[in-house]
A and B are shown apart, each in its own frame.
Chain A
Amino acid sequence: MQQRLARGEAAALGELYDRFASLVHSLAHRVLSDEGAADAITREVFGYVWENPDAYDPKQGSMRSWVAKLTQRQAVQRLRQDETSSYEESGLGSTEELEQKVRRASAAARADYIVTSMPAPLRAALELAYFQRRDYRQAAADLSITEDEARRRLRLGLQLLSSANIRPPEGAAPPGYGRAW
């Protein structure tokens, strides 16, 4: 894919969009809570990838995790800008509040990425327990697994998710599992 992008294949750009647009848009939306802003970030991220296909280093992880990282960086940068200018205009709020808001938004985006990247069996268990409000016994029956295994998946899934609350060192790849795309 990287080579095709570098070669200037518009068809590869379309495929790139088809693969990652919903990831990019949803992460941006999670940080910025605004449809138009998420659209703009989506435009920026794909524009950047298309213009700089060589910026991706496969040794650092999957293309998916690279794209996610670009998105989070762009979106958080924009949130910071937006918040700073509204702070300057209104004088309301404080820089601490701003930082807190940025941190929360970043953690939320990391969490979303972790959920989309975690092994499907863990995600399925979390979805049953959280979104469908099944208790772990029902979830075990739904998934045809033992109750032990259901408890294990719920716990492990939340453990993975909880790593979103840790700020990664600057420049590190987003947490989660870089899977071949």
Chain B
Amino acid sequence: MTGPMEQGEPAPDDENTPRIPSPRAAGDDLAGDDLAGGRSGSGRFVPAPREGGRGAPASPDRRAGPNPEPETPPPPDPEPSSTSTSPSSAEPEASVPEPVPPDLAPGAEPPSHTVLKSLLGAWALAACSTEETDAVEAHLTECAPCADEALRLRDAVGLLHTERSLDLDPMLRTRVLENCLGRRPARIPVPGWAAPYDAEAARLDALLNDFGDAEWHAPVRLKWFEEERRASRRTTVAGVIGHLMAVDALVATALGLDEPVPLDPEEAAGGPTARTEALWRAGRYPLTRTVREPWREQSHTLIRTVSFAGRGAAELAVSYGEFALSLQDAMLDRAFECWIHAGDIAEAVDYPYDPPSGTHLHGMIDLAARILPATLAGRRRAGLASPPRGLVTAGSPGRSLRLEIEGVGGGNWLIALDSPAALASADHEVAHVALDGVEFCKLAAGHVSPQEAAVGQLGDREAISDVLFAAASLSRL
């Protein structure tokens, strides 16, 4: 809470010209304090003390008897309803040609009532020069309308507060929405497979909330794993949001929605990397904070569209150029990317950022585990993984690796090693790796290398190495 609020209502306005300030109308609430002299010391007109020592001489008690007539008739009090901010607005004194800069040379004419009045806001905020402060305070002893306003504005300063708004607990969103849906079930629900994307986009958006220009242009190094090595690329926070938007648009266009930023059709068809490069080139590089709105709008539209499309759309194919995912897997993939890049952004601006909820993390790990056998086969064809140890007919059990994920969202997955068509089988387990869920996701995002990942391992070392490299190869720009 903030400073004093002892004052009640502002003085009545210019219905009757308040030459003699009426005793403050019994403020609806706190007038008593004022009458009791509740404010400390002499400083009735002292602005909230911020810089210390800018004390002011006590002003006469305006309630005590008639004041000397103010020399200038008080101009009509502007109502605080004029919201125009152009200098030519309805403010009365704005139309008066400003006589002198209110900087007061010693011996100069004292500034006019109009000038002093225009300084009241700055005075209340202790944001004018010492000479101006003195001049205003001298004026307040002789001009009741200004004194009234001064008091009112200074009390208003007490209502400002320095507490920065606390970041909302990201899990609050889930709890609030669940509570709502418990009270009134949705007729058009968000499909469960879109929930992780919904949550991650909301979390990232909340992170961006307090960003100023400096944060938007903070450098971010995007990392991934390519050609068996770590690769990276420099961009900015805004560039990362552009990247997310360009790749999300793969899903949007598969649903028949428009591209947020029209791209060259050939490049747009080229998959995530080509799309991102095209967007970075299309926008006047570097992108700015203006990218946030189209990104967020697209993510909201995606959630809304898949909700209306319903369960039937879950298997719709979304092309990533070189490969395709079902719509429900693509939404998981986008949720994963959104979290990973939100983490990149948070690191770049030195904010903490938590992993997704356990359920959502589990879904993301499951997606990677399901893709691994086909990825292994692709790498084998490219000569990047060891050859199969034997032919397995489709649907029969084959050599398997147990992927044990520890921590929240964890579980056990069996990965078929010899063919994506083979049946993973505990009876044919040749290797066992154990690692933390977030560590596994970092591996799959190319943020830690297969050699560095903290992995407990048991069994066939070649199989383990193949799987870890395959996991890392899931990453891309």
Residues of A within 8 A of B (CB): 7-15, 17-18, 21-22, 25-26, 29-30, 33, 35, 39, 42-43, 46-47, 50-51, 100, 103-105, 107-108, 111-112, 115, 118-119, 121-122, 126, 129-131, 133-137, 139, 145-167, 177
Cβ of B181: which chain A residues have Cβ within 8 Å of it?
10, 13, 50
B439 on interface, CB distance cutoff 8 Å: no
Shortest Cβ distance from B4 into chain A, in angstroms?
10
Q: Complex formed: what's the CA distance from A39 to B169 in Å?
A: 9
Given contacts A13-B180, A25-B172, A104-B5, 8 further A-B contacts (CB under 8 A): A10-B307, A14-B303, A39-B169, A47-B183, A135-B127, A137-B129, A148-B94, A158-B125
Which chain B residues lie closer than 8 Å to A121 at the CB level? Answer: 85
Establish whether residues A118 and B83, one from each chain, have CB atoms under 8 Å apart when the complex forms.
yes
Q: Which residues of B contact A7 (CB under 8 A)?
A: 187-188
B121, A8: Cβ atoms under 8 Å? no
Cα distance A167–B94 in the bound complex, in angstroms? 30
Contact indicator A39/B156 (Cβ below 8 Å): no
A118 to B156, CA, bound (A): 14
Contact (Cβ within 8 A) A135 B177: no
The main secondary structure of chain A at its interface with chain B is: helix
Contact of B85 among A35, A122, A137, A146 (CB under 8 A): A122
Count residues of chain B with CB under 8 A from any CB of chain A: 74
A2 and B7 alpha carbons, distance in the complex (Å): 39
User: A47 contacts which of B9, B30, B79, B179 (Cβ < 8 Å)?
Assistant: B179
Q: Are B186 and A8 in contact (CB under 8 A)?
A: yes
How near does chain B come to A74, taking the closest CB pair, in angstroms? 14
| Residue ID in chain B nearest A116 by CB atoms | B165
A138 CB, min distance to chain B CBs, angstroms: 8
Instruction: Tell me whether B122 and A164 are in contact (CB under 8 A).
Output: no
What chain B residues lie within 8 Å of A139 (beta carbons)? 127
CA distance A30 to B162 in the complex (A): 12
* A8 x B118 contact (CB < 8 A): no
State whether the Cβ of B60 lies closer than 8 Å to any Cβ in chain A: no
Q: How far is the CA of A14 from the CA of B198 in the complex (A)?
A: 8
Q: How far is the CB of A58 from chain B (nearest CB, A)?
A: 20
Minimal beta-carbon separation of A88 from chain B (angstroms) = 23
Q: How far is it, in angstroms, between the C-alpha of A103 and the C-alpha of B161 when the chains are bound?
A: 17
Is B127 a contact partner of A136 (Cβ separation < 8 A)? Answer: yes
Chain B residues near A148 (CB-CB < 8 A): 87, 94, 98, 118
**Judging by beta carbons under 8 Å apart, are B80 and A156 in contact?**
yes
Complex: A155 Cα to B149 Cα, angstroms: 10
Partner of B159, one of A26, A107, A151: A107
Nearest-neighbor residue (CB-CB) of A33 within chain B: B1
Main secondary structure of the interface of B (DSSP, over half): loop
Are the CB atoms of A43 and B176 closer together than 8 Å? yes
Q: How far is the CA of A103 from the CA of B7 in the complex (A)?
A: 12
Contact A22 B176 (CB under 8 A): no
The residue in A15, A47, A122 that gathers the most chain B C-beta atoms within 10 A of its C-beta is A47
**Hey, which chain A residues are within 8 Å of B128, CB to CB?**
135-136
A111-B160 contact, Cβ under 8 Å, with A21-B168, A50-B183: yes
* In the complex, chain A residues whose CB is within 8 Å of the CB of B173: 14, 17, 21
Please name all residues of chain A whose beta carbon is closer than 8 Å to the beta carbon of B85 when the two chains form the complex: 119, 121-122, 153, 156
User: Measured between C-beta atoms, what is the minimum distance from A130 to chain B in Å?
Assistant: 5
CB distance from A20 to the nearest CB of B (A): 11
Q: Are B187 and A47 in touch, CB under 8 angstroms? A: no
Q: Is A51 touching B165 in the complex (CB atoms < 8 A)?
A: no
Q: Which residues of A contact B177 (CB under 8 A)?
A: 10, 13-14, 17, 46
CB contacts (< 8 Å) of B51 on chain A: these are: 133
With contact pairs A46-B176, A103-B30, A164-B159 given, residues A136 and B122 touching in the complex (Cβ less than 8 Å):
yes
B80 A166 Cβ-Cβ under 8 A:
no
B121 adjacent to A158 (CB under 8 Å) = yes
* Contact sample, A vs B, 9 pairs, CB 8 Å cutoff: A10-B186, A10-B190, A12-B304, A14-B173, A25-B172, A51-B184, A108-B159, A139-B127, A159-B78
Interface centre among B98, B128, B180, B190 (most CB of A within 10 A): B180
Cα–Cα distance between A43 and B179 once the two chains are bound (Å): 7
Q: In the complex, are the beta carbons of A129 and B127 less than 8 A apart? A: yes
Cα distance A17–B98 when bound, in Å? 47
